[in-house]
Amino acid sequence: MGKSTVYVCFSILLMFNIYSSCHSSSLYPRPSETRQIQELNGMWNFRADFSPNSDRGFTEKWFRFPLSKTGPVIPMPVPSSFNDITTDKKLRDFTGIVWYDREFYVSPDWQMKRVVLRIDSAHYASVVYVNGKPTLEHIGGHLPFEGEIATFLNFDKVNRITIAVNNTLTPYTLPPGTISHHKNDPRYPPGYSVQVLQFDFFNYAGIHRQVRLYTTPAVYINDITVTTLNIQETNAILKYAVKVGNATQGTTISVEVVNKEGMVLASSSGDSGNIETKAAHLWWPYTMNTTHYGYLYTLKIRGKGLDFPLIARDFNMLKWLGANCFRTSHYPYAEEIMDQADEQGIVVIDESPAVGLKMKVNFCKKNLEYHTRVMTELVSRDKNRPSVIAWSVANEPKSDTDYAADYFQHVINYTKGIDPTRPVTFVSSSDYDKDQVAKYTDFQCINRYYGWYQDTGHTETIATHLSYDLDHWYKVLQKPIMVTEYGADTVPGLHAEPSFVFTEDYQVEFLKQYHAVFDKYRTRFLVGEMVWNFADFMTDQSVTRVLGNKKGILTRQRQPKAAAYVLQTRYWSMINATTPVHDEL
């Protein structure tokens, strides 16, 4: 009997009836005169459900009791992905449902307030119980969700929160995946099945961002949208809209524009309107000012989980390199990373988790609806961020098909509809003459691997391939183009002269070939270059990956390979250069 691939819509997704219950969240919790925060981060109890369908926890209702009463538990940090914490291979590679719980107290003062539970991200589908009662459900592993929980809480005794998280990826998840079964195959262990991914990074899972409670008054601000209508020197007109929860007849809204020092610059009242403010400062990337043109250069950083030391290190390395932009490949990054981009002047192309849409089934109607919902969640989370200059709806889908064209025409137009102020793009790996989606974008991103996956080892072919490619893309599209991936796997410390694939010498030679071409096009329609990748990263096990993807110009520990110095010299010379102009735009 051979191998069979079956698309399993894993029971947990059905069980949760998740499509009918989703609480997305747009305002990041911040303490104020009227809002208090209680963190639920720390060590939780944890157990993976290793039963054959990973459904024992649900059939035995583990959420009714402390997890430690229904079986063995191990300590698991929240936030973190559970995969790399223990030395257990079965847990690292686990596909199915894992359970977390912990106890907590809330102040009796909170009895009169709205209490909201917010989970910044749990991958992939989650059900949350408070004191044994189902409270929240969410699908999607990269965006926050929240809900009011006061009615479930004890104010006079201990509370318990239990979260079940399913990391199974199916053709109907974003990103999609499949489960390959080898049932009744004597050449495999009984019941053997394995998660097959359609993308190139490890499917890290669990509660990998913060879990917090926060309070609001009974009448509260639910959402704020701010857009800049006009700016003349330092005079700006801002348009705002405030959504109020539980508003009553007597609810009044006052709005103030406050600068960094806390000084009130302008004020208004009402739930929407325009405010004129003086002393406005335009947000610029730290590498640019009004005399520079908008060329972006950079790479991807790790953004799935939340790790403050790593975030700080990554932004230090971005600045050390002189990089001014990153794309959140291939899923929305933690809000704390986005905060740093806003604060430190790094431009972001904000990408959805739609990576690896390769099979026809991935473009079905159900996925289209879900994809637009994810765009809504992403846009509502990040819409007020000055660093976000564009939305990327997908990375490398099968964009040379008519079904992808129909699907993405819808997703792109939908995204433009919910945010008419920013350009929308997707990242193509198709050829200029086959791609059917690029015609719908505002600018086009392309990933190219000449001298790596194509003509491996032959850096002398890069310049002709790339020039041909860029010329033709521009001829067809007549719009700005950005190369959002180019790179070569490099094992740190490996050297060969003349260069050979996987050596540091090859990566250096390879990048220089691309840069020579970029320099010819960047005063024309090429608006950005992004090396793949900022740092090495973990992937699934495969014969083309040596403990992960090694295309980083930094190691996974964030130390430079030789290529990092090439980029550093290049980026800083661009920062210090006088301004060229995009002739053809």
The set of catalytic residues is: 396
By CB under 6 A, the residues from 427 to 466 that bind ligand BDP are: 429, 447
Query: How many residues of this chain interact with ligand BDP, rule: CB under 6 A?
Result: 10
Is 11 strand, coil or helix?
A: helix
Restricting to residues 512-541, which ones interact with ligand BDP according to CB under 6 A? Answer: 532
Sole residue written with tokens 């025409």? 409
Q: Return left, alpha or beta for 82; rule: phi > 0 is left, psi -120 to 50 is alpha, else beta.
A: alpha
- Nearer to ligand BDP by Cβ, of 441 and 447: the residue is 447
**Which position among 101, 120, 146, 200 is part of the footprint of ligand BDP (CB under 6 A)?**
200
Give min distance, CB of 463 to ligand BDP, in A: 21
Q: How far is the CB of 532 from ligand BDP (least distance, A)?
A: 6
Kindly state the tokens that stand for 416: 């433009």
Segment 267-306, which members bind ligand BDP (CB under 6 A)?
none
| CA–CA separation, 37 and 116 (whole Å) | 9
Q: Which of 485, 504, 505, 529 binds ligand BDP (CB under 6 A)?
A: 485
Q: Nearest approach, Cβ of 454 to ligand BDP (angstroms)?
A: 12
Given candidates 210, 549, 563, 567, which one binds ligand BDP under the rule CB under 6 A?
Answer: 549
Question: Amino acid letter at 499?
Answer: S
CB of 304 to ligand BDP, least distance (A): 13
Nearer to ligand BDP, 152 or 450 (CB): 450
The CA distance from 61 to 527, in Å, is: 54
| Shortest distance (Å) from residue 506 CB to ligand BDP | 15
* Least distance CB 504 / ligand BDP (angstroms): 17
Taking every pair of Cα atoms in the chain, the longest distance, rounded to a whole number of angstroms, is: 77
Choose between 252 and 542: whose C-beta lies nearer to ligand BDP.
542
Give the phi and the psi of residue 458 in degrees, each rounded to 5. -100, 80
Crossing angle for the helix pair 365-382 and 402-418, nearest 10 degrees?
A: 30
State yes or no: residue 178 binds ligand BDP (CB under 6 A): no
φ and ψ at residue 189, rounded to 5 degrees:
-60, 155
CB nearer to ligand BDP: give 143 or 354.
354
In this structure, the dihedral spanned by the alpha carbons of residues 67, 68, 72 and 77, taken in order and rounded to 10 degrees, is 70
Least CB distance to ligand BDP at residue 345 (A): 26
Closest CB to ligand BDP among residues 289, 454: 454
Nearer to ligand BDP, 335 or 396 (CB): 396
Cβ 245 to ligand BDP shortest distance, Å: 39
- Give yes or no for a contact between 406 and 368, defined as CB atoms under 8 angstroms apart: no
Report the C-alpha gap between 464 and 475 in whole angstroms: 16
Strands (DSSP E) along 396-460, which ranges? 424-428, 444-447
Q: Given the complex with ligand BDP, which of 145 and 426 has the nearer CB atom? A: 426
Of the candidates 327, 298, 540, 290, the one whose C-alpha atom is nearest the C-alpha of residue 427 is 327
Q: Report the site for ligand BDP in 84-123 (rule: CB under 6 A).
A: none
DSSP structure string for 269-328? ESSEEEEEESS------TT--TTS---EEE-----SS--HHHHHHHHHHHHHHT--EEE-
Minimal distance, residue 56 CB to ligand BDP, in Å: 35
Question: Is residue 556 within 8 Å of residue 317, measured between CB atoms?
Answer: no
375, two tokens: 């765009």
Which residues on adjacent β-strands are paired with residue 145? Answer: 24, 119
Is residue 227 within 8 A of residue 239, CB to CB? The reply is yes
Nearer to ligand BDP among residue 127 and residue 354 (C-beta): 354
Smallest distance, ligand BDP to C-beta of residue 449, A: 7
Q: Which one of 102, 123, 448, 551 is in contact with ligand BDP (CB under 6 A)?
A: 551
Show the tokens assigned to 289: 């000012």
In degrees, rounded to 5, the angle at the alpha carbon of residue 147 between the alpha carbons of residues 144 and 151 is 155
Among 80, 167, 203, 395, binds ligand BDP (CB under 6 A): 395
Instruction: Determine contact, residues 164/135, Cβ cutoff 8 Å.
Output: no
User: At 470, which amino acid appears?
Assistant: L
In the bound state with ligand BDP, the residue whose beta carbon lies nearer, of 35 and 465, is 465
Print the binding letters for residues 303-332 with ligand BDP: x by CB under 6 A, - otherwise.
Answer: ---------------------------x--
The radius of gyration of the chain from alpha carbons, rounded to an integer in Å, stands at 25
The minimum distance between CB 453 and ligand BDP, in angstroms, equals: 7
Q: Which tokens is 244 given?
A: 């109020």
Query: Tokens in use for 383?
Result: 């819409």
CA 133 to chain centre: 30
The CB-nearest residue to ligand BDP is: 200
- Give the C-alpha separation, 93 to 563, whole Å: 32
Residue closer to ligand BDP (CB basis): 200 or 529: 200
Identify the residue among 307, 350, 396, 509 touching ligand BDP (CB under 6 A): 396
* Nearer to ligand BDP among residue 288 and residue 567 (C-beta): 567
Q: What angle do CA 472, 478, 479 make, to 5 degrees?
A: 110
Q: Which residues bind ligand BDP (CB under 6 A)?
A: 200, 330, 395-396, 429, 447, 485, 532, 549, 551
